[in-house]
Amino acid sequence: MNDTLYLVIPCYNEEAVLHETAKRLTKKITTMMENEIISTDSKILFVNDGSKDKTWNIIEELHNQNNIFSGINLSRNRGHQNALLAGLMTAKDLADVVISLDADLQDDVDVIDKFVEKYYEGSDIVYGVRSSRQTDTFFKRTTALAFYKLMNTLGVDMVYNHADYRLMSKQALESLSQFKEVNLFLRGMVPLIGYKHSIVEYERHERFAGESKYPLKKMLAFALDGITSLSIKPIRIITGLGFFIFVFSLIALLYSIIVKLFGETVTGWTSLTLSIWMIGGIQLLSLGVIGEYIGKMYNETKRRPRFIISEKLIDVMHLQNNRI
């Protein structure tokens, strides 16, 4: 079997690493073609997510030098998840199977063969899972573990230690295209598709060059998006907390009546102040969580496009052959 494979790589300001990424991926995909593991129509598809550096110029240069490279240029920066989806939906019409990975060479390209092997064994989705987190700082390792446990507690089905290094068959991509939400969290959406899946473990490397595109602020925003896009448990927690405070207030009311009847007087300044601050804080927090959901509903109802492709560098003949 030698199905057509597309490698989809979202890029944002990756000029420092892109030539090396192209070199390593070309070597890997060419070897797989020579060994007749994949079709000679297989490609490497770069997605430029509105980069401010020379990333798109490099993609154009690579495409002109070797037609194994394809590229799409988004009209503006739309974020990693939207850029990734743009690449997946473009590759869906061209390939039999697609593997998504980051441009920074942290994902081990040497295990791509194992992904394809699992696909030929019948898996429609193959998740790349980190074998360890020894290269991470203590803070990042601890917060990552807390994030996965929190998502699991809130009922979000996620693969532990999996980012966006995964293989998806055409069938799985067709199913993913039916998900129309604007607020994307692909790590939680892909498991909802179902189908047979498997796991390939790999060792995640340090960035070859450049800076991380996910500082702490973005990581926290990403986690919040994941929680509110895939779980309504925070709303239920607020409901439960509200019920608990209501019951507690009834008990406090009963206690006050009893104290009053027996003629005892208590100043209660400290308890009153603490109660006001506590309840006020809970109310503001509750409004914030509810507002987050309402905001997402607002974005969904507008049905704005998740991405706009301004330019494509794709082998036209190959595209025509796939449509016949």
* pLDDT digit string, tens, across residues 284-316: 667 767 776 776 666 667 676 777 888 888 875
Mean pLDDT of the chain: 78
Which CATH number applies to 5-211+305-323: 3.40.50.920, 3.30.70.890, 3.90.550.10, 3.40.109.10?
3.90.550.10
- Determine how β-strand 97-100 pairs with β-strand 5-11: parallel
Dihedral of the alpha carbons of 99, 104, 105, 109, in degrees to the nearest 10:
10
- Local structure of residue 213 (DSSP, 8 states): S
- Distance between CA atoms of residues 111 and 239, nearest Å: 46
- The residue that leads in pLDDT, 1 or 311, is 311
C-alpha distances in angstroms, 291 versus 30, 78, 84, 285, 295? 50, 23, 27, 10, 6
Task: Give the domain ranges of the chain.
Answer: 5-211+305-323, 233-302
Gyration radius from the chain CA atoms = 25
* Whole-number percent of the chain with pLDDT over 90: 24
